[in-house]
């Protein structure tokens, strides 16, 4: 087996949390989530060759993962609508731990946001600097910051409403 493939598989294994989070945020079923995970891995593999290390691995992975989820992936299910916010989401009721219940609720709430806003929130939660958030989306840093401040308020309201 080519060592490059092994190296890549190890990279994905070490960073799969990021891909799982993106897959979960942009799908509404486990089947779609697994499909999206595979599609992201494939797209990462295709662009692995051209990744020259100019940016951090995590920034590159975020960019490819979000681009795949937002532009290339054909999901079978629709996005959640605010008025059909499903707080009985399977993940949510299965979690005993209070913190994880909150995480599940946050996933459900974020899923009510439009695609681009979901990406901003996710990168923010994972501590990506605004510079990288803006760069990944092709918007200005100032706008990413303004947008995130507005989103914080929106998420706070929704979380408190549906908790």
CA of residue 57 relative to chain centroid, distance: 16
CA separation for the pair 105, 112 (Å, rounded): 11
Which stretch of DSSP H or E encloses residue 117? helix 115-125
Q: Give the sign of the dihedral formed by CA 94, CA 99, CA 102, CA 106.
A: negative
Our finding on whether 106 is near other proteins (CB under 8 A) is yes
Closest distance to other proteins from the beta carbon of 125 (Å) = 4
Residue 53 sits in the site that holds other proteins (CB under 8 A): no
Contact status: 96 vs other proteins (CB under 8 A):
no
- Residue of 104, 92, 140 whose CA lies nearest to 120: 140
Residues in contact with other proteins by CB under 8 A are 1, 5-6, 8-10, 12-13, 16-17, 20-21, 24, 35, 37-39, 41-43, 45-47, 50-51, 60, 63-64, 66-68, 70-74, 99-100, 102-103, 106, 114-117, 119, 121, 124-127, 135-140, 142-144, 146-147, 152, 155-156, 159-160, 163
């Amino acid at each position: 087996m080519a060592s490059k493939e092994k190296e890549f598989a190890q990279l994905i294994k070490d960073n799969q949390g990021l891909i799982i989070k993106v897959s979960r945020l942009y799908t509404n079923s486990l089947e779609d989530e697994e499909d999206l995970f595979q599609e992201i891995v494939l797209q990462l593999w295709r662009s692995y060759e051209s990744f020259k290390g100019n940016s951090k691995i995590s920034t590159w992975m975020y960019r490819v993962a979000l681009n795949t989820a937002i532009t290339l992936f054909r999901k079978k299910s629709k996005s959640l609508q605010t008025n059909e916010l499903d707080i009985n989401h399977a993940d949510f009721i299965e979690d005993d731990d209070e913190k994880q219940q909150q995480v599940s609720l946050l996933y459900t709430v974020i899923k009510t946001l439009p695609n681009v806003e979901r990406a901003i929130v996710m990168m923010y939660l994972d501590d990506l600097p605004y510079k990288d958030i803006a760069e990944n989306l092709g918007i200005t840093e100032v706008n990413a910051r303004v947008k995130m401040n507005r989103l914080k308020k929106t998420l706070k309201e929704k979380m408190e409403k549906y908790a």
